[in-house]
Amino acid sequence: MPDTEVEARIAAFDAILARNERFVLIFHGAEMPKDSPRFMRAYKAWFNATKATQKRLCAGAVRVEPDADRRKSMALKALSLMNKVFLPYPYAVVASDAEAQAQARMWLAETGSAP
């Protein structure tokens, strides 16, 4: 991620939280822009500063990965990460957008926020 995009990405995360509504994050593409130290520092600071709000509003996060081998690898990485860092919401790795939408609906229904 180019350094020129860092503030806009963090502002987008803030805008999601500012809506004060339950939501589910659905990710596609690269896991994290690890080649962008500036973004990683900003994201880590944002994540830690907003953890309580994320716990209250984020029903979960779903990563879509169609490739079975990559999906398994991502699921193992997620489990390792959850053991190192407390994630304030559940996390899943699924094969398709349809599965991601189904998971999101299930999590939102559990919290009484399903569309």
Tell me: pLDDT of 13 over 70: yes
Please, what is the Cα angle at 83 between 7 and 54, to 5 degrees? Answer: 40
CA 21 to chain centre: 16
Q: What is the pLDDT of residues 66-76, one digit of tens each?
A: 988 887 887 77
> Residue 34, SS3?
coil
Residue range 7-24: mean pLDDT, rounded: 96
What stretches of the chain adopt beta strand conformation (E)?
23-27, 58-64, 91-94
Q: What is the pTM assigned to this prediction?
A: 0.80
